[in-house]
Amino acid sequence: VPGREGNADVWELRDLETPALVVDLDVATGNLRRMQERADRCGLRLWPHTKTHKVPALARLQMELGAAGLTVAKAGEAEVLRDAGLTRLHLAYPPVGEAKARRLADLLNRGCRLRVALDSAAAAACVADAAGRSGVPVEVLVEVDVGLRRVGVAPGEGALALARQVASLPGLVFAGLESYAGHIGHAPDEASRLEILRREGEALQATKDLLERDGLAPAVVSVGGTHHAARMEAIPLATEIRPGTYVYNDRDTLLAGSCDEAELAAFCWVTVVSRHADRAVVDGGSKTLSSDGRPGAGYGLVRGHPSWRVDRLNEEHGVIEWPEGERGPSVGDRLAIVPNHICATVNLHDRAYGLRGGEVAEVLEIAGRGKLR
């Protein structure tokens, strides 16, 4: 029950005060095992992105299962892992500015082995500054934009120019290339998803060839995400993969065909607090689920009721509608809503309630939540 601390008791799901984030640890553990097996089968090193769960105990389990290291976005997330004794870390976000250099130097001084992906000379200088302050070398991956149009230099000459700069800076070790085709998640169909991966593979191959001709052969080619992991054979030159969402999965992962329903491990547990002829209101809104909607398709999947729609959210209210002819829920009913984007949801919660064998058996403190910096 929220407010009750510790892991001593076993509680019934129905006893939990709502709204609450619930994680089925049997399903999540199965997801972690299967991903490691898949990576091993494909000869890829697994660097799970911990931004999804933000829980050191799950990160430790990922390492115990065979991960090569752990991916984070922010220094604050890295500090949480380091404090839990997890020190082989990949920062998949460009650090810029002196404050970041100091944070990274501190991580290096405290025993972390860091790898950083970046896309500018300024970020490379920041990492070189951290390496200089600490006296510990840092591996660098040059981030290539493969169509997401977020971070990343242009494939080919753009990547070569930055790789040369990285290789010339003291304290930096040019280790290879990184890409993240996050736009796969909203591609309309499987043919488009595979086309995005084909183009990503093509861009990375051309860049790798160019670098090799320049004597800068990339030892590492690190690609993204859970959608990639479900289609690993599509980018044969990858040496590593950094999926994050796979630990829990979410409605976006399900709709993209990157997991099946039995692999959905997390949901928001909510109570119906108001009922009308055409709608019901639950006690989880954007503060519980996050406001990540799908255009025209609402804010989550109501488990057991696929035809119902989480139509609108305010901060504390979720408005549920159902097709004509169905009864819909009553005041007091509990519902399990799988959010569209679980990473954003997890970041809103201090803790998750862990189910084992269908009972609430554990409280997971989400130690890495809210680490903006």
Ligand X SMILES: Cc1ncc(COP(=O)(O)O)c(C=O)c1O
Binding site for ligand X (CB under 6 A): 49, 52, 92, 180, 182, 224-227, 242-246
Closest CA to 320 of 360, 268, 245, 262: 268
| Rounded Cα–Cα distance for residues 268 and 26 (Å) | 17
Element housing 334 (H / E): strand 334-339
Beta-sheet strand order (sheet of 138-144): 45-46, 240-242, 220-224, 172-179, 138-144, 113-118, 88-91, 70-72
**Nearest-approach distance from CB 338 to ligand X, in angstroms:** 15
Nearest CB to ligand X, comparing residues 92 and 216 = 92
* 45-46 and 240-242 strand pairing: parallel
Minimal CB distance to ligand X: which residue? 225
Place of tokens 């690609």: 223
Give the angle subtended at the CA of 318 by the CAs of 317 and 324, to the nearest 5°. Answer: 135
Nearest CB to ligand X, comparing residues 92 and 166 = 92
Q: Do the beta carbons of residue 212 and residue 174 sit within 8 Å? A: no
Nearest CB to ligand X, comparing residues 328 and 339 = 339
Nearest CB to ligand X, comparing residues 137 and 182 = 182
Nearest CB to ligand X, comparing residues 244 and 318 = 244
Element housing 270 (H / E): strand 266-275
| Token couple for 163 | 């790789």
Q: Is there a cis peptide before residue 19, judged by omega within 30 degrees of 0?
A: yes
Instruction: For residue 307, count CB atoms less than 10 angstroms from its CB and return exposed for 0-12, middle for 13-18, buried for 19 or more.
Output: exposed
**Nearest-approach distance from CB 151 to ligand X, in angstroms:** 8
**Nearest-approach distance from CB 3 to ligand X, in angstroms:** 31
SS3 193: helix
* 334-339 and 300-302 strand pairing: antiparallel
**Nearest-approach distance from CB 182 to ligand X, in angstroms:** 6
**Nearest-approach distance from CB 219 to ligand X, in angstroms:** 19
Closest CA to 94 of 111, 118, 64, 58: 118
| Rounded Cα–Cα distance for residues 67 and 102 (Å) | 28
Nearest CB to ligand X, comparing residues 148 and 273 = 148
**Nearest-approach distance from CB 197 to ligand X, in angstroms:** 13
Nearest CB to ligand X, comparing residues 153 and 280 = 153
**Nearest-approach distance from CB 128 to ligand X, in angstroms:** 21
Q: Do the beta carbons of residue 36 and residue 42 sit within 8 Å? A: no
Nearest CB to ligand X, comparing residues 13 and 65 = 65
**Nearest-approach distance from CB 192 to ligand X, in angstroms:** 16
